[in-house]
């Protein structure tokens, strides 16, 4: 491979550094790393090959022992296995998410994050507090969101309210784009001043009980994920999974009908190859009842997607008008795509299971 300085820079500039799927053995005593995507951090990937952790050991082991999501804002040797290799790839924080199939904890999804100066984004865990009927913020990793984070820990959402409350109420992932102007995102003015544009909330459930809602908050310049999709199944069957919400590079919600329009035109939430990869990952996640990771997918067809609201009518206008359309901050980002070689560095499909099938699958890709 030809060494390309700009490319390497760009890739190491992604907040989301890696995602891993850990398989939990039948008696829940150990977790084994079975798949991982590391983007440009290849050394990190090699260093983690074949890892096995016992309950209580490292991040996946902590999730195993506690049976709740665990977010580490600092990766010290105690809490995180292989913290040196992670640090060498710029990783400063990580989250471990349990996936339950009925009573059994079957898998842990681990996602690692960077925190270079200038990055803006956050991951939050919203959990029910003792004696309360609302969700409160228990843990968060913030990059460049000091003020937003400071006030967020005093905010609580009841079921149905705010992004955490909505994900709780529908029992499926929920996507909000255009956070700064959103009616549904109650911390919108904080989001706006911090530069956040997209919020993705994923309920983490054990049977019918909500353990937490995980929120991903992305800025336009340094998004945690460039694509978010929500797939829901009306009857629990994997074949019934349909994409009900998706975004493109950083904003604009797309409803399923509109998605068709978009893919025909070859723009929007990814080129055909990316969409095919996502669809395959979603189905696999539903079938295997496990999280699934994917990477190195072509994002061709993305250049030229605007950051404005992606409504079908507007989309047409946009493709006709080209650069005259509602571009928002798209141009710098479109330029960034060239630097990445037009490839998706990583992504995962995380299922929300129910006893007789799959309720929904949340997809994030960066």
Sole window of 34-42, 148-156, 214-222, 295-303 interacting with other proteins (rule: CB under 8 A)? 148-156
| Binding residue (CB under 8 A) for other proteins from 132, 264, 316, 355 | 132
Q: Judge whether 243 and 361 are in contact, CB under 8 Å.
A: no
Count of alpha carbons within 13 angstroms of residue 42, beta-carbon side? 3
* Token pair 């984070």 in the structure block, residue: 149
Spatial separation of the C-alpha atoms in residues 327 and 317, rounded to whole Å: 12
Interaction of residue 174 with other proteins, rule CB under 8 A: no
C-alpha of 288 from chain center:
20
- CA 99, 343, 113, 58 dihedral sign is positive
Interaction of residue 162 with other proteins, rule CB under 8 A: yes
CB of 149 to other proteins, least distance (A): 11
Interaction of residue 157 with other proteins, rule CB under 8 A: yes
Sole window of 147-155, 274-282, 303-311, 354-362 interacting with other proteins (rule: CB under 8 A)? 147-155
CB of 73 to other proteins, least distance (A): 20
Sole window of 157-165, 227-235, 239-247, 261-269 interacting with other proteins (rule: CB under 8 A)? 157-165
Sole window of 28-36, 66-74, 184-192, 295-303 interacting with other proteins (rule: CB under 8 A)? 184-192
Interaction of residue 186 with other proteins, rule CB under 8 A: yes
CB of 270 to other proteins, least distance (A): 28
| Binding residue (CB under 8 A) for other proteins from 189, 234, 256, 287 | 189
Interaction of residue 169 with other proteins, rule CB under 8 A: no
Spatial separation of the C-alpha atoms in residues 320 and 6, rounded to whole Å: 32
Q: Which of 158, 152, 156 is nearest to 140 (CA)?
A: 152
Q: Judge whether 59 and 81 are in contact, CB under 8 Å.
A: yes
CB of 213 to other proteins, least distance (A): 15
Residue placing its CB nearer to other proteins in the complex, 68 or 184? 184
| Binding residue (CB under 8 A) for other proteins from 11, 114, 174, 187 | 187
Written in H, E and C, the secondary structure of 97-141 is EEEEECCEEEEEEEEEEECCCCCCEEEEEEEECCCCCEEEEEEEE
Angle at Cα 282 formed by Cα 205 and Cα 48, nearest 5°? 80
The residues that touch other proteins, with contacts defined as CB under 8 A, are 130-134, 136, 147, 150-151, 154-162, 183-184, 186-190
């Amino acid at each position: 491979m030809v060494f390309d300085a700009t490319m390497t820079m760009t890739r190491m500039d992604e907040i989301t550094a890696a995602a891993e799927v850990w398989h939990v053995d039948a008696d829940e005593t150990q977790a084994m790393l079975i798949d991982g995507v590391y983007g440009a951090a290849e050394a990190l990937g090699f260093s983690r090959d074949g890892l096995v952790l016992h309950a209580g050991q490292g991040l996946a082991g902590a999730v195993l022992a506690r049976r709740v999501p665990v977010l580490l804002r600092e990766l010290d040797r105690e809490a995180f296995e292989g913290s040196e290799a992670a640090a060498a790839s710029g990783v400063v924080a990580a989250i471990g998410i349990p996936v339950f199939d009925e009573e059994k904890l079957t898998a842990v999804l681990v996602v690692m994050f960077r925190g270079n100066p200038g990055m803006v984004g956050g991951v939050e865990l919203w959990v029910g507090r003792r004696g309360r009927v609302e969700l409160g913020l228990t843990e968060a990793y913030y990059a460049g969101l000091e003020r937003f984070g400071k006030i967020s820990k005093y905010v609580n959402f009841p079921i149905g309210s705010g992004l955490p409350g909505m994900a709780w109420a529908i029992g499926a992932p929920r996507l909000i784009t255009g956070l700064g102007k959103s009616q549904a995102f109650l911390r919108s003015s904080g989001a706006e001043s911090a530069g956040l544009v997209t919020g993705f909330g994923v309920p983490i459930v054990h049977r019918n009980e909500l353990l937490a809602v995980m929120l991903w908050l992305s800025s336009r310049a340094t998004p945690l994920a460039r694509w978010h999709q929500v797939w829901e199944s009306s009857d629990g069957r994997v074949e019934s999974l349909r994409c009900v919400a998706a975004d493109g590079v950083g904003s604009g919600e797309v409803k399923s009908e509109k998605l068709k329009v978009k893919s025909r035109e070859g723009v929007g939430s990814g080129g055909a190859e990316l969409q095919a990869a996502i669809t395959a990952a979603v189905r696999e996640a539903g079938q295997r009842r496990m999280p699934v990771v994917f990477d190195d997918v072509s994002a061709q067809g993305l250049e030229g997607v605007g950051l404005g609201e992606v409504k079908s009518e507007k989309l047409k206008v946009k493709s006709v008008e080209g650069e005259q359309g509602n571009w928002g901050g798209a141009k710098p980002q479109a330029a960034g795509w060239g630097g990445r070689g037009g490839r998706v560095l990583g992504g995962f499909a995380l299922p929300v299971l129910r006893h007789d099938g799959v309720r929904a699958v949340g997809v994030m890709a960066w």
